[in-house]
Structure 1
Amino acid sequence: MITVLVADDDPFVRRGIADILNATPDIRVVADVDDGDKVAQAVSRFRPHAILMDLNMRRMGGLEATRQVMQMPRPAKVIAMTAMDVDDLVVQAISAGAHSFLNKDASPESFYLSVRAVVSDNTLFSADALRRIVQSSPPVAAAAPSTLTNLSSREREILCAIASGATNAEISAQLYLSETTVKTHISSVFGKLGARNRVEAALVAFRAGLIA
């Protein structure tokens, strides 16, 4: 069973997300909090696999709460939530360690698919959303190509597949590799790029021009 913590200052949002996730056979919301300053304590108590984190809360925003979670041993996977599709807070949340991002107005299916994705070390995002993140981020493209020279040709293929939003299973099928081999390559790519998750790795690919 996948366990989830919901952090949002709107009780109707918390209830709606809980109803969506608890209707699935494999996901349960084990706790919810109404502000970011309660997240760390709830994580310590309930040890959720994933956190749906609102980025705009009253006393402490989701950005700072994400930073606190990332300092904890074996941190939960954080999915940043925003009322906008992609904004500056999303960019900062990814830099702080968030594993994925989600629009609050997304379909119910997107919520449980996103949770399942991050818990299985995948993520759920669109190439268009990544482009908008790149466009709103500080320019760092000049440093990216030299970083990519450390990647083997196979690792570049893996990186491009990650940037397309492909899951490990999809990459395995595309490249005729076992999922174990794919995971090994992905770990190597993350290490060479200094990326903590698939979104950060995908952003490197976009900034380096590997993805149009």
Structure 2
Amino acid sequence: MTSDTAVVEPRRAERFSVLIADDDPFVHRGLTAILEAAGDLTVVACVDDGDQVLDAVDRHRPHVLLVDLVMKRVGGVAAITAVLNRPDPPRVIAMTALDVDGLVADAIRAGAHSFLRKVEPPHTFALAVTAVAAGTTVFSEQCLRMLVAVQSPTKAAADARSATLVNALTTREREVLAEVARGQATAVIARALHLGETTVKAHLQSIYTKFGSANRVDAAVHAVRAGLID
């Protein structure tokens, strides 16, 4: 899984560029309108299947790829895997309109930086793309809970291990982790806890180290398993 503990700076630009991969033309139109209304996002291209993603990435060099997990010829997981094996790949957000929990888990394991269901409020997509382009992992709490369920074949043992890890954190680290598990970006966590963003990042790094986690998703899974959030 791609780590966000040592984030590579996104390519500098006045606007972040986005490539959309989805087999529904109405999604192309809707997401393009939502994202470009944000003011700092430009949709550089839309493709309608996973087998077109690599060529589009090479041609347009987007900062962020929004990719549906279920398409007709080549699915999103295969497209994500291929893209992230490229040098200097875009950041990736997996999205789905269906209950395909196993595919979401596969997408995260393949390296997707964030995941969203298409039923999320429209503004969530613009916020997620901007945050992911800037190097943050963003996800909905609903998706996180679903991912925990998929990844816990031995639930009792997994929950007990997560509880032990979470209980070993400092009070402030648990506060930061709870906000991460709610899908909050670093800047939002900093404001909520009255901390500097650098301090939040330091707490996150400490949490990752204590958990042996690769990124926010791994850490947030432990938070949910341990019952840190309702």
Question: What is the one-letter code of the residue matched to 1:180?
Answer: T
Give 2:59's aligned residue.
Answer: 45
How far off is 1:25 after superposition?
1.5
- Whole-angstrom CA distance in 2 between matches of 1:67 and 1:191: 26
How far off is 1:192 after superposition?
4.2
- Whole-angstrom CA distance in 1 between matches of 2:58 and 2:173: 36
* Cα distance change, pair 105–94 in 1 and its aligned pair in 2 (3 A): same
Give 2:72's match in structure 1, choosing from 42, 54, 58.
Answer: 58
- Whole-angstrom CA distance in 2 between matches of 1:123 and 1:16: 23
- TM score, norm. by length of structure 2: 0.78
* Cα distance change, pair 193–75 in 1 and its aligned pair in 2 (3 A): farther
Number of equivalenced pairs = 212
Query: Bigger relative contact order, structure 1 or 2, given CA contacts below 8 A and separation 6+?
Result: 2
1:135 equivalent in alignment to 2:149: yes
How far off is 1:66 after superposition?
1.3
1:92 aligns to what SS in structure 2?
helix
2:159 aligns to what SS in structure 1?
coil
Supply the RMSD in Å over aligned alpha carbons.
2.6
Question: What is the one-letter code of the residue matched to 1:138?
Answer: S
Give 1:203's match in structure 2, choosing from 218, 221, 228.
Answer: 221
Question: For the Cα contact (< 8 Å) 2:117–2:143, is it kept in 1?
Answer: no
Give 2:124's aligned residue.
Answer: 110
1:141 aligns to what SS in structure 2?
helix
List structure 1 segments (4+ residues) > 6 angstroms apart after TM superposition.
Answer: none
What CA deviation, in whole Å up to 9, does each residue of 1:174-210 have, x standing for no partner? 4332111212332343344344432232112112333
Which residues of 2 match residues 64-83 of structure 1 at below 5 A? 64-83=78-97
How far off is 1:26 after superposition?
0.8
Unpaired segments of 5 or more residues in structure 2?
1-14
Give 1:90's aligned residue.
Answer: 104
1:20 equivalent in alignment to 2:38: no
Unpaired segments of 5 or more residues in structure 1?
none
How far off is 1:119 after superposition?
2.0
Question: For the Cα contact (< 8 Å) 1:85–1:103, is it kept in 2?
Answer: no
* Cα distance change, pair 53–73 in 1 and its aligned pair in 2 (3 A): same
What CA deviation, in whole Å up to 9, does each residue of 1:114-161 have, x standing for no partner? 212222334544434322322233334354345557755543332222
Give 2:113's match in structure 1, choosing from 99, 107, 113.
Answer: 99
- Whole-angstrom CA distance in 1 between matches of 2:85 and 2:164: 29
- TM score, norm. by length of structure 1: 0.83
What CA deviation, in whole Å up to 9, does each residue of 1:67-118 have, x standing for no partner? 2223233432211111126622112212222222222243332221221222
